């Protein structure tokens, strides 16, 4: 007979049960093959993988990749309550912070107190975007969206009439962490325009 779970384990499992709901949160980006909506858990997995593969292109060198991975694994969990806010939705961004703070309070609060503090600090660090690790995490978050939209022939850019000038303005933060990756992203954006998958401007 198995011993009963401790209160700590119960709290950890409650959080993990809740986190599984991220698979049901749909983003505006479309998957290249099926054209179905990408979910936030898939997005999180993809950017964590990208973090490992592309770490050599970050500046400054020596960014703590494990720390970045932790941030990216939890950065979108608040979307379970707050929903995914499309990057180019100015109305949705007006109350995004308030919605996500309430979600962070509830969802991270399911964990034992020490882990609540740790996970909440990682989320706040990502949101602030000031450390080298947070800048790299944000770069991966933005770079992945550019890549998926490019691979899906404009995807959510076309669907929501987003123009290249707006894509460039939103994603230029990639350059703060990696000029190399920003140059690559710019090439993708320019090629999308050349192929007619992205309008240059309104």
Is residue 36 within 8 Å of 55, Cβ to Cβ? no
Q: What is the average pLDDT across 20-31?
A: 94
Task: Report yes or no on 2 lying in a domain.
Answer: no
Mean pLDDT for 150-179 is 95
| Position 80 in a domain | yes
pLDDT at 2: 63
- Please check the confidence at residue 195 and state whether its pLDDT lies above 60: yes
Q: Does 199 fall in a domain?
A: no
* Block residue for tokens 């034992």: 112
pLDDT on residue 87:
84
Average pLDDT score over residue span 114-121? 98
| pLDDT, mean over the chain | 94
Better pLDDT: 61 or 57: 57
- pLDDT tens-digit map of 157-167: 999 999 999 99
List of residues 6+ apart from 82 with CB closer than 8 A: 96, 99, 100, 102, 103
pLDDT of 34 over the 90 cut: no
Task: Report the pLDDT value the prediction gives residue 89, as an integer from 0 to 100.
Answer: 84
Asked whether residue 1 is domain-assigned, the answer is: no
Which pLDDT belongs to residue 58? 92
Per the CB < 8 A criterion, the answer to whether 40 and 22 are in contact is yes
Would 96 be classed as within a structural domain?
yes
Enumerate residues 6+ apart whose C-beta is below 8 A from 57.
Answer: 178, 180, 181
Residue 134's domain is classified under what CATH number?
A: 1.10.3210.10
What per-residue confidence (pLDDT) applies to 4?
66
Q: What pLDDT sits at residue 33?
A: 82
Give the pairing of strands 26-30 and 37-39.
Answer: antiparallel
Residue 202 lies inside a defined structural domain of this protein: no
Residue 123: which domain range? 7-194
**Averaged over 178-190, what is the pLDDT?**
97
- Does the pLDDT at position 3 exceed 70? no
Tokens at residue 27, please?
């983003």
Give the separation between CA 131 and CA 140, rounded to whole angstroms.
14
Residue 200 counted as domain residue? no
Give the integer Cα–Cα distance in Å for 90 and 76: 19
The tally of domains found in the chain comes to 1
Q: What share of the chain is helix, strand, coil (3-state, %, to 5)?
A: 70, 5, 25
* 3 state DSSP class of 56: helix
**pLDDT tier, 18 (very low <50, low <70, confident <90, very high otherwise):** very high
Is 201 within the bounds of a domain? Answer: no
Task: Return the sign of the alpha-carbon dihedral for residues 155, 159, 165, 169.
Answer: negative
């Amino acid at each position: 007979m198995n011993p009963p779970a401790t209160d700590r384990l119960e709290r950890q499992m409650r959080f993990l049960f809740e986190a599984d709901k991220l698979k049901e949160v749909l983003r505006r980006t479309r998957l290249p093959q099926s054209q179905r909506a990408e979910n936030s858990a898939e997005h999180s997995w993809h950017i964590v993988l990208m973090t490992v593969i592309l770490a050599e292109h970050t500046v400054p060198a020596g960014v703590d990749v494990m720390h970045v991975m932790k941030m990216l694994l939890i950065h979108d969990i608040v979307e379970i309550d707050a929903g995914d806010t499309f990057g180019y939705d100015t109305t949705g961004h007006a109350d995004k912070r308030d919605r996500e703070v309430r979600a962070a309070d509830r969802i991270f609060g399911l964990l034992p107190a020490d882990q609540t503090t740790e996970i909440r600090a990682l989320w706040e660090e990502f949101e602030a975007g000031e450390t080298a690790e947070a800048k790299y995490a944000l770069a991966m978050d933005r770079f992945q969206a550019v890549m998926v939209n490019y691979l899906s022939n404009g995807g959510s850019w076309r669907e929501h009439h987003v123009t290249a000038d707006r894509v460039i303005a939103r994603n230029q933060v990639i350059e703060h962490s990696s000029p190399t990756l920003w140059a690559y992203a710019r090439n993708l954006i320019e090629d999308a325009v050349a192929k007619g998958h992205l309008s240059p401007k309104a």
